[in-house]
Amino acid sequence: MAEQELIFVQDLDVHFDIGREGFGKSSARKVRAVDGLTLKIRPGETMGLVGESGCGKSTAGRAILRLVDPTRGRVMFDGQDLSALGPRGLRQMRKRMQIVHQDPYASLNPRMKVKDIVGESLIVHGLAKGRAVAPRVAALLETVGLGTEAMERYPHEFSGGQRQRVGIARALAVEPDFIVLDESISALDVSIQAQIINLLKDLQRDTGVTYLFISHDMAVVRHMSDRVAVMYLGAVVEMGPSESLYASPRHPYTRALLKSVPVPQVTAAGKPTLEGIKGELASPMEVHKGCRFCNRCPLVQDICRQSPPTLDVVTPGHFAACHFSDRLATAA
């Protein structure tokens, strides 16, 4: 029998209303940040989520944690539909789900000492109080490789890597089952990135925690993830075990992303673009009749503009949404 997933995201849309255009045609404009996202994440695994800037990764991560309300679709967490939970149920559930952002500095109160930042998490969720808080904080800091002297210090007194460790300690305080790591190591030097990756992997081995690892860096995602989902304009276009997806990408977009490793090209307008495919990410305000990648795809045919490809199995456990994914099976 297939293993029960911890998270099941089903047909999820997050559309942001951004007002009306002009005076005449008063049609409401929407950004389709997440647009038909389906994803399963198994307990104890790391699911990588990759894609260009603006493709909806952060919005997807936030919607899974219900930090933003979906327009349509649902998120099941450990068999429970999050949209069916009231405020109390959601609060209970939040204890099991955490997020670590790219810039912990922005999310760590600069006027609070580390002992209070991490301790607050314990107190708010009723996991410790009074004199029990400090030893728990010390133990959490030790877990993330910081000494107890860190407790009396403020966020600005730390390096970027150390601050990220504080962010991770705060997330770990509630002993979550699931952590969204949203570009959590992207701002760090490569050697510090490696240290944090090792820390995250050690924590996973010791606690069984599940990660959604969001990044635009294909190389780092490969290193970190058991499985990888590639997102394009709000939806998954390819998904599979890291090994298989990297060795034999079956969607033209994934191939382009892999070709662009390590450094994306930059257009005159200063926007990163991808070597190997033309153009920039289409507007997330468009409604797609056919394949959402058709205006950039080197393999595009008439059928691509008419009918949207579905996410189909290409090899066991590996899925791609492309009418011509079989052509890529043997392509170099």
Ligand X SMILES: Nc1ncnc2c1ncn2[C@@H]1O[C@H](COP(=O)(O)OP(=O)(O)OP(=O)(O)O)[C@@H](O)[C@H]1O
Catalog residues that contact ligand SF4 under the rule CB under 6 A: 251-252, 291, 293-294, 297, 299-300, 304, 309, 322-324
DSSP 37-73: EEEEE-TT-EEEEE--TTSSHHHHHHHHTTSS--SEE
- Strand pairing class (227-232; 46-50): parallel
Cis (ω within 30 of 0) for the bond into 252? no
Tokens of 69: 């309300």
Token representation of residue 83: 């949209």
CB of 260 to ligand X, least distance (A): 14
* Identity of the residue, 53 or 92, whose beta carbon is nearer to Mg ion in the bound complex: 53
Q: Does 102 help bind Mg ion (rule: CB under 5 A)?
A: no
| Binding partner of 54, given ligand SF4, ligand X, Mg ion, none, CB within 5-8 angstroms per partner class | ligand X
**235-241/265-266 β-pairing:** unpaired
Task: Supply the minimum distance, in Å, between the C-beta of residue 75 and ligand X.
Answer: 16
User: 16 contacts which partner out of ligand X, Mg ion, ligand SF4, none, CB within 5 to 8 A by kind?
Assistant: ligand X
User: What part of residues 250-289 is at the interface with ligand X (CB under 6 A)?
Assistant: 284
Single residue of 58, 204, 225, 254 touching Mg ion by CB under 5 A: 58
Site stretch for ligand X (CB under 6 A), options 55-63, 165-173, 190-198, 302-310? 55-63
> For residues 12 and 63, what is the distance between their CA atoms, to the nearest angstrom?
9
| Bond into 262 cis (ω within 30) | yes
> If binding is defined by CB under 6 A, does position 155 make contact with ligand X?
no
**For residues 203 and 227, what is the distance between their CA atoms, to the nearest angstrom?**
18
For residues 27 and 330, which CB has a smaller minimum distance to ligand X in the complex? Answer: 27
Residue entry with tokens 């601050």: 163
x-or-dash string of contact with ligand X, 79-118, rule CB under 6 A: ----------------------------------------
Long-range contacts of 79-82 (CB under 8 A, 24+ apart): 79/4
Residues that bind ligand X (CB under 6 A): 16, 18, 31, 33, 51, 53-59, 216, 284
